[in-house]
Structures are given as structure tokens and as C-alpha cells.
Amino acid sequence: MSAAPNILILATGGTIAGTAGSALKRDYRPGQIGIESFIGQAGALGVAANLTGREIAAMGSEDITPEIWRALHDACDAAMDDSQVDAIIITHGTDTAEETALLLDLTLPTNKPIVLVGAMRPADAVGTDGIRNFLNAVRVASDADAAGRGVMMVMSDRIISARDARKAKTTGTDAFKGFPRDSIGTVTPSSLDWFGEPWAKGRAARFDFPAAFPHVPICHAYAGMQRDAVDCLLREETHGLVLAGFGEGNAPRVIFDRLAELAAKGVVVVRASRVDEGLVDRLPMDDEHGFVAARGLGPAKARILLQVLLANGISEMSEVQAAFDTR
Ligand code: GLU
């Protein structure tokens, strides 16, 4: 990478581009500030990288769609082959950033760094974290050692791998954590430390980007739930389902009985947990019924991985389990 890297910024909106109009009001709207504003601020602060902005969307990430995911994927994919681009930054709302990050991590090669960045406070809030997170993302994307680590998230001075990133708090600038692997590095606008070597150097895209996203519902466990909690989620075309179970992917007997019936009919059932942190490992019941254990992925990310697998024609239990087991 040259001394002044060329970084493509793909903007999608979120709080990082949001304003409240007043530091004392909560009436904020995401996706109000154009990416040129951040590029201008970074330039004024003396950032050496050449930043080029492109707006993919200007929205809260709760409204993200497969079409926007596709536009992001295709823009990243094209940039991978563009000698004028050294790295990519995606500005994104924090609510679904982990899902976008994992999807891109699964479907893109690792030869150039891809960094997702967001903010928890709007751009005009007192103590906004937006510009700091953005400068941190530029620092990471500019680093010669950043490629080969897959898609990364940069929030609150931490670099987190897409596979591990989770929004774990509803408010506060330290809302993200990595699980099961915590940060893979720390970053400030003036420093960068990696905790270890790139582990995925030169890795090709592992899966094709889905031509269509299969219907994969998430069944959220609660005490006293009955069969209809599963049945109301099913469509004729449902070939995968994620359980957001109690504890280590647990559920009432009546639910497991229903899920076992579905698995016997060829529906891929993944056991994840509604608990924020902790592994869901394979249990004897998984072998008995043909279930898959989500391991370190929470329900929303387990759903993304299962959609990608199904769209790539992978539905055999051991192959699906292997994908959940592989970082
Ligand atoms: N809900 C909005 C979003 O995810 C704002 C939250 C945020 O970016 O922190 O885009």
C-alpha cells in the first residue's frame, strides 16, 4: 500500500450520519449527513489517506434490505479488483451492523481491508463518537497489516472481527463487544495495535452472495411456549429455522418435539441462544434429531450464515455444522 492509501467509503446512513438538531433533544434522525462531510472533516484534521465517498443508502440500519446488502457486496467486490482502491470503509447504523459485517465476511475475499464503522451518538450530539470512530476506521483501513483479517468493525477504539462483533448495549459508546474472541486490535486516531497476525491472508470468498435470501425465521424461546410458537413462523418454502433458545440453546420439550419433526422433514434447525454471551455446543440431542449448534453465533448472525449456506445449496447437517464451527 502506498504512503497515502486510496480508501473507498461506502455510506449507508445510521447514527454516524445522524443529527438531532439539538444537543438536548432525543428527536434524532439517522442518515442526514453526507459522507463528504466526514471526508472534509478528516482532511481538515490532516488525515493523509485519499478518501472517496459513495452513498449506497441514507437510512437507519433497521431498514436494511437484501438489495442494499447486494449493492454493498457488489461495490466491495468491484473494489477488490480495482487497482485505484486500497481499502474500503462502510459507514453503517449500529443496529444491524453485525449482520451486514458477517454477510460480507462470508461472501468476499480478504485481499483488501473492509472496515464497518458506526456511532452511538449523532454527529451533533455532545461528545459525539462519530468522527473519532471514522478516523479510527481510516487508520485501520490504511494499515499495511489490515488485510487478511476478513471484514472488521471499528467502534470505541476497538477492532472486532465480523464473526465476533455483537451490539451488546442499547446505549453508550462502548456498545459493541467481540465474542468469543474479544478485540483483534486497538486503535485511536494516533495509534494502532494488532493482537496477532492476519489469519485469513489471501482467502477467497467462501460462499457466493445469495441470489435470493431463503426464508429463515427465528423462534424466540419463552417460558410456557407451545407448538404454535414454531408453527406460526413457517411457510411452505421454509427450509431453515433458528432457535433463539434459553441458556445453551434450550427449549421446552414440546418445542424440541416439533423441531425434531421439522428436521426429519429436511428443515435445517440451528440451536442458538437468547442469552447474549456464551457458546452453544453440540449435545447428544443434535445427533439424535439432526440439529445444528450455533456455537459462538447469536440468533441474528446464525440466521445470516444459514441463509448463505442454504442459498449455496448446503443443507446437510454435518456440512452446516462445519460452517458454524469454522471461523
Ligand atoms: N437504528 C439506527 C441504525 O441502526 C441508529 C442506531 C445507530 O446507528 O447507532 O441505523
Average pLDDT over residues 269-292: 97
Cell of residue 143, nine digits = 494499515
For residue 19, pLDDT over 90 is answered with: no
Using the mean position of ligand 1's atoms as its centre, give its distance from the Cα of residue 36 in Å: 19
pLDDT tier at 306, thresholds 50, 70, 90? very high
Burial class (CB in 10 A: 0-12, 13-18, 19+), 144: exposed
Q: Is the CB of 60 under 6 A from ligand 1?
A: yes
Residue minimizing CA distance to atom 8 of ligand 1: 93
Percent of the chain with pLDDT over 70: 99
Two domains, one topology: 6-194 and 218-325: yes
Instruction: Tell me the pLDDT tens digit for each residue of 55-66.
Output: 999 999 999 999
Instruction: Tell me the pLDDT tens digit for each residue of 73-87.
Output: 999 999 999 999 999
Instruction: Tell me the pLDDT tens digit for each residue of 96-136.
Output: 999 999 999 999 999 999 999 999 999 888 999 999 999 99
Domain locations along the chain: 6-194, 218-325
Q: 218-325 has which fold?
A: Rossmann fold (3.40.50)
Closest CA to 219 of 228, 211, 210: 228
Mean of the per-residue pLDDT values for the chain? 96
Q: Is the CB of 61 under 6 A from ligand 1?
A: yes
For residue 271, pLDDT over 70 is answered with: yes
Average pLDDT over residues 211-222: 98
Q: Is the CB of 296 under 6 A from ligand 1?
A: no
CB 10 within 8 A of CB 34: no
Using the mean position of ligand 1's atoms as its centre, give its distance from the Cα of residue 95 in Å: 5
pLDDT tier at 30, thresholds 50, 70, 90? confident
For residue 2, pLDDT over 70 is answered with: no
Average pLDDT over residues 164-187: 97
For residue 1, pLDDT over 70 is answered with: no
For residue 24, pLDDT over 80 is answered with: no
pLDDT tier at 18, thresholds 50, 70, 90? confident
pLDDT at position 27: 73
CB 157 within 8 A of CB 191: no
Q: What is the pTM of this model?
A: 0.97
Q: Which ligand 1 atom is the nearest neighbour of the CA of 16? A: 8
Candidate of 95, 100, 121, 170 to mutate for ligand 1, largest count of ligand atoms within 8 Å of Cβ: 95
* Partners of residue 240 on adjacent β-strands: 268
CB 215 within 8 A of CB 237: yes
Using the mean position of ligand 1's atoms as its centre, give its distance from the Cα of residue 93 in Å: 4
One-character DSSP codes across 8-34: EEEEEESGGG-B-SSTT----BSS-S-
Q: If one looks up domain 6-194 in CATH, what number appears?
A: 3.40.50.1170
